[in-house]
Structure formats: structure tokens, C-alpha cells
A and B are shown apart, each in its own frame.
Chain A
Amino acid sequence: MTGLANTEPKLESPVGAPAAVATVAASRKGRGEFLYFALRSKKFLFAMGILLVLIAIAVLGPMIDGTDPVATDLLPMQPPSTDPGYWLGTTSFGEDVFAQFANGLRATFFVGLLGGGLAALIGMAVGFTAGYRGGWTDEILNMLTNVVLVIPSLAVLIVISSYLKARGVLFEAVFIGATSWPWAARAIRAQTFSLRSRDFIDLAKLSGRKGWRIIVEEIAPNMSSYLFMTFILLFGGAILIAASLDFIGLGPTGGMSLGLMMFNAVTYGAALLLGYWWWFIPPGLGIMATVGALYVMNVGLDEIFNPKLRDI
């Protein structure tokens, strides 16, 4: 999945350098400080606004308008209008595009949250363990990371798909989570590595603290902003991967997603050729807006956490 390569976070420098000091300072001052700068960061507010609107559509849309996204009882190929059921027009099968959009957005957030969350968890587990333990543990985990990195996950997915008759959104999310963690693991490993040689880690050891508690209580809090940003980027990455999988027909076999809408529009509806723009523009915009907002949010967070980038 090539989309992954450039999702690596462009954080300034590992812990120990000024950016990390900023991180530390930001987390020290606590939530008040964070909120203060968050509310002053236009990028963050802008991205948050877009995400909130999208989340509202995803959550409330299907609740208010209970139309079945795959029911074919409407007039086909209607452009958007104010009539109920035709807000975003209909597909060539007579399905409600708005219902599909709202439900698809739901699936998109679900995949992002679960896939990105899972990848973040695996990445943290592997990265923290490898970075803290070092030695053989590190070498083995590093090997595992590299193996997952070079596995052609698309080929694996095609093989799995030929065995599984029905694939749900859950399967897709888990698959994405299980394959997109390596860069996060690497980044976290590097940060952990530079933190573990600090004297306060030794002092915690001298206090009889166990390894995992040192990771959770001493190391992780020192890179909390980094972890948060990693999650945001994995979230966005998972959405993009899901969209591409759906678009090439490897997505969930039931249900609706934004990628699937585009797949249907192009494959069955010839929407591009025939100019049914209302069929493929909303899902495309939805994906773009979600991922774009997440990335802008990441840049905004960088400014919030790093005083050197703040324009005061």
C-alpha cells in the first residue's frame, strides 16, 4: 500500500532536542495551556470544525434519514434537489446518494478509528518494547517490523479475499491495522531509545519499578504529543488505504463505504462518462476533507506542542 510511505510524521527531532523540550513543557503546563494554544491555532480550529461537521453527518445522518443506502426504490439518475430522498440525487440503480454518503462516512470513521487505533497500539507495543529493551528483543522486533513493511499486503489481501466469502468493515479495519503499524513502531522505537538512557529512567529502576511501568509512567508521558500525532496520521492513513481497497473492489462485501460508492459509480454507473457528478463527487470530497482535515490538524498540533512554531 503505497499511500503509507509518505504518512510518516515530519516531527522536528527526537526527544532530547528542543522540540522535545517543548513537548515536555506543553504537557507540563497541562490541559489549560493546551486548550489556550489550541483555541488560538487557526489550523487546528479549522480542521476540528471540518471534522465535527463530518462526524455530525456520519452520526446523525443515518439517524435522521433512515433510508436504506442500498434500497433501489427511488427514481434512478436524479440530480440533487430539495425533495426528500433526493438531497444528493440518486444512483443509476435508484439508490439515495445522501444515505450512501452518510453511511459511507460512518464506515470511513469506523475504519480510521479502529484501523488507525489498532496500528497505533501495535506500533506502540513493538516500538516501546524494542526501544526500551534493546539487544536481542530489539533485533527480533526490528526484523518483524521489516518483514511486515515489505510484505506485499495487497497480494495477501487478494489471497485472503479469495478464501473469505464475506468481508465486513471490521475485517478491513483489522487488516489495515495489522499491516500499517511498522513506521509508527520505528518512530516510537527511536524516541524510546533516546529517552531510556536518561538518568530518571535509571532512578526509576533503582526504585524497583518494573520495566512496563517505566515505559508507561516515565517514557510514554514524555512523548504524549508525539503519540497523539502518530495516531492522527495513522487514522488518516487507514482511511486512505480503506478507500483505495474499496475502490479496487477489495472492500467490505456488505454495507456501504465512500470508496465503494466511487467504485460503483465508475464500474456500474459509468458516472464519469455520463457526467453523474453527484454520485462520485460527494464520496471523493468526503475522503479528501476527512484526511485533509486530519493532516491539517496534525500541523496545527505541531504548532500547539512546539512553541518554536507558534506565531505569537
Chain B
Amino acid sequence: MLSLNRVSKFYKVGTFGGKEMAAVRDVSFDVKEGEVVSLIGESGSGKTTIGKMVLKLIEISRGSIVCDGTDVAAIHGAEVKAYYRHVQGVFQDPFSSYNPIFKADRVFGMIRSEFFPGVPNSEWDAKVDAALRSVSLDPGQVLNKYPHQLSGGQLQRLLVARALLLELKILVADEIISMLDASTRIDVLNLLAELKGRGMGILFITHDLSLGNYISEKTVILRRGAVVEMGATDKVFGNPTHPYTKVLISSVPQLHKKWAEVEAEIQARGGDDAGTCLYHRFYRPTELSGDSTEDRPAMIKVEDDHYVGCFELGQGICKV
């Protein structure tokens, strides 16, 4: 349904915007109906950037995103609005998702005036009520309040409820769980499972491996903007192939472990995996073979529904 095809995003950085920084490089994956795909990576790995490209909030530098046959980069005006009827997002920071000078339920009002202008009050109220209940919010408690009068978790769930008012096919959920306490976490996870059951595709962005493992059919591990490993969740978690994924997954039980330590451990282990880059055993390094990176896929197949990228991406050339 949603398909990313070799998507990259470059930001201009430096004093005169002379340098380009690759926030996302050569990322390809699909989100199908009734499927949760978790996009896992540390802070700054480009998760939000990918989500925003899917939502057409920032431009795609290279590659394409296609949803139900629509090329996201090619639509304009009314087509974008039609796209948003089916594709919605919930952002990472609930506090900045609300205009602080207006009441929080104004986010529902906007949906109503843009997508359901003719709907009578009673019908609309029932719709809002149902949406709120499905995210376990008590309408009386959250309606008619200013954002600063609500908690981060309530605001976050209001945003999910807002998205549910539309005829969603794809939901981009950017770290929507991290703001919630344990009990509402379960509620929202159950809700996502239910939405999945109804055929919705969910791009579940998180930095929490165990959460990804729990909820998703498919896992995409992102590092420095590139996918290092992806595939069916049980395969990625059961048979991690990329050294980065290996360290990540071996450190899941140690919850105290920080991403930075994972990175350090990989550097320390570097020697073990050197020379064993699966990717480059398959494809000779470009500077030796002479072909360009454009011509080759970014990943190779390990087994059915399980792919891995170059082991040393972002650390110079893979020495094979």
C-alpha cells in the first residue's frame, strides 16, 4: 500500500548551505494493509525525517514514495487533501502539536471543517465521542480545555483520536508511546493492534526495540539515515545478521544500556566482523568494481523476507 523506493533526504548545512548532510539515505521498504512496520533507530537516525516525507511535510530529495498508486511527490492542492484523508500522522512532541492559544479540541474542528463540512452537529459529536473512547479518553475530561490543561499522554491520545476521524489507511505514529504511562501504553498498543485488524497500515516509529518487537510484523533498523537490516520481525530479532543489529538485540534485556554504549560496543567489536560484510561479499566495493551505488540495491537478501545492508556504512569503505 505504502512503498518507499530508495528514498534519500539531504539537508543543506554549513555557513552558506554549501555542504549537504544526508539525514536519510537510500531507504526502501513497504507498509502493507493490516501491517505494523516498526522503524527503529537511535536519536538522529532519521526516523522523523522519513515519517515527514511520507506525510508530504518535507520534500523528498531523491527516490519516491508511492501510496496506493499515488506518487506522493507529484500531488498538489486538492490531491494532497485527498491523500491526507487516508494518510495521517501523530507527532513525537504532543505539546508542540497544539497551537497554545487555542483549545485542544480545535484539532477536531479543523478536521470537521476541511473534511466533513456537511455533517450535522449530533452526528459529528457522536463521531468524536467514539474516537475519544477508542483511545480511552473521557470526553468530558478533555474537551473544551487548553493544551496546557492536559497531560502529554492525553494530548498524544487526542491526536490519535483526531486521526481516527478520517478514513485512514496509513498512520505514521512517531514515538507515540514514549509519553504515556504504563497503563495507557497498553491501551494505545491494544488500539494499534485493533486498527491493524481493521486493515490499517501503521508506520510505528520508535527507539524502543522491545516495543517494536512486541507490536510489529516487520522491523526496519535504521542507523545514520540508512537501513542496516530489515525484514519480518521474528527473523530480524531471531537471526540478526548485521553487527549493529546483533549488538542492539543482545543488549535489549539490559534496559539500562544506552544507544551510545551500543555504538561503542560496535566499535570495539569492529575487528570480529571486518571482512565478513555479507553485502560486499555479494557486491564488490564500488571503487573496485567501477559500478555506481545507484545501480545496486542498498541491501541484499539473507533469507526470505530478511535483508541486510553493508556492515560498515557510514564508516568509510567496506574492506573486503
Tell yes or no: A5 within 8 A of B by CB.
no
Looking at the assembled complex, report how far the CB atom of A280 sits from the nearest CB atom of chain B, in whole angstroms.
48
User: Please, how many angstroms separate the alpha-carbon atoms of A205 and B91 in the complex?
Assistant: 13
User: Please, how many angstroms separate the alpha-carbon atoms of A218 and B100 in the complex?
Assistant: 10
Q: Do A222 and B81 touch across chains, with their CB atoms under 8 A apart? A: no
Known contacts A205-B57, A206-B84, A207-B107, A200 near B101 by CB under 8 Å: no
Q: How large is the interface on B (under 10, 10 to 19, 20 to 34, 35 or more residues)?
A: 20 to 34
Which of chain B's residues 100-118 have a Cβ closer than 8 Å to chain A?
100-102, 107, 110-111, 114-115
Residues from chain B with Cβ under 8 Å of A27 in the complex: 101
- Nearest B residue to A28 via CB reads B101
Q: Do B110 and A200 touch across chains, with their CB atoms under 8 A apart? A: no
Q: Do A198 and B96 touch across chains, with their CB atoms under 8 A apart? A: yes
Q: Do A200 and B97 touch across chains, with their CB atoms under 8 A apart? A: yes
Tell yes or no: B55 within 8 A of A by CB.
yes
User: Please, how many angstroms separate the alpha-carbon atoms of A222 and B96 in the complex?
Assistant: 13
User: Please, how many angstroms separate the alpha-carbon atoms of A198 and B92 in the complex?
Assistant: 12
Looking at the assembled complex, report how far the CB atom of A200 sits from the nearest CB atom of chain B, in whole angstroms.
5
- Nearest B residue to A221 via CB reads B101
Q: Which of B88, B100, B111 has the most CB of A within 10 A?
A: B100
User: Please, how many angstroms separate the alpha-carbon atoms of A27 and B146 in the complex?
Assistant: 13
Residues from chain B with Cβ under 8 Å of A133 in the complex: none
Per-position binary interface string of chain A over residues 188-226, scored 1 when its CB falls under 8 Å from any chain B CB and 0 otherwise: 000000000011101111111100000000100110000
Residues from chain A with Cβ under 8 Å of B115 in the complex: 207-208
Q: Do A218 and B146 touch across chains, with their CB atoms under 8 A apart? A: no
Partner of A222 from B91, B101, B107 at Cβ < 8 Å: B101
- Nearest A residue to B93 via CB reads A199
Q: Do A203 and B81 touch across chains, with their CB atoms under 8 A apart? A: no
Tell yes or no: B98 within 8 A of A by CB.
yes
Looking at the assembled complex, report how far the CB atom of A227 sits from the nearest CB atom of chain B, in whole angstroms.
14
Tell yes or no: B225 within 8 A of A by CB.
no
Residues from chain A with Cβ under 8 Å of B107 in the complex: 203, 207
Tell yes or no: B89 within 8 A of A by CB.
yes
Known contacts A28-B146, A202-B57, A203-B107, A208 near B99 by CB under 8 Å: no
Q: Do B100 and A28 touch across chains, with their CB atoms under 8 A apart? A: yes
User: Please, how many angstroms separate the alpha-carbon atoms of A57 and B63 in the complex?
Assistant: 68
Question: Is the contact region of chain A dominated by helix, strand, or loop, or is it mixed?
Answer: helix
Q: Do A200 and B99 touch across chains, with their CB atoms under 8 A apart? A: yes
- Nearest A residue to B103 via CB reads A28
Q: How large is the interface on A (under 10, 10 to 19, 20 to 34, 35 or more residues)?
A: 10 to 19
User: Please, how many angstroms separate the alpha-carbon atoms of A93 and B115 in the complex?
Assistant: 71
User: Please, how many angstroms separate the alpha-carbon atoms of A218 and B101 in the complex?
Assistant: 9
Residues from chain B with Cβ under 8 Å of A199 in the complex: 91-93, 96-97
User: Please, how many angstroms separate the alpha-carbon atoms of A202 and B88 in the complex?
Assistant: 11
Residues from chain A with Cβ under 8 Å of B111 in the complex: 207
Known contacts A206-B84, A208-B84, A24 near B110 by CB under 8 Å: no
Looking at the assembled complex, report how far the CB atom of A48 sits from the nearest CB atom of chain B, in whole angstroms.
25
Which of chain B's residues 147-171 have a Cβ closer than 8 Å to chain A?
159
- Nearest B residue to A135 via CB reads B59
Per-position binary interface string of chain A over residues 17-53, scored 1 when its CB falls under 8 Å from any chain B CB and 0 otherwise: 0000000100110000000000000000000000000
Known contacts A208-B81, A208-B115, A218 near B99 by CB under 8 Å: yes
Residues from chain A with Cβ under 8 Å of B146 in the complex: 28
Residues from chain B with Cβ under 8 Å of A208 in the complex: 80-81, 84, 110, 114-115
A-B contact pairs, 29 of them (CB 8 A): A24-B101, A28-B146, A199-B91, A199-B93, A199-B96, A200-B98, A200-B99, A202-B55, A202-B89, A202-B97, A203-B91, A203-B97, A203-B107, A204-B110, A206-B55, A206-B84, A206-B88, A206-B89, A207-B84, A207-B114, A207-B115, A208-B80, A208-B81, A208-B110, A209-B110, A221-B99, A221-B101, A222-B100, A222-B101
The 6 closest A-B pairs by CB, nearest first: A208-B114, A207-B110, A208-B81, A199-B97, A199-B96, A200-B99
Binding site for B on A (CB under 8 A): 24, 27-28, 198-200, 202-209, 218, 221-222
| Known contacts A202-B52, A206-B57; 6 further A-B pairs (Cβ under 8 A) | A28-B101, A199-B92, A200-B96, A203-B91, A207-B107, A208-B84
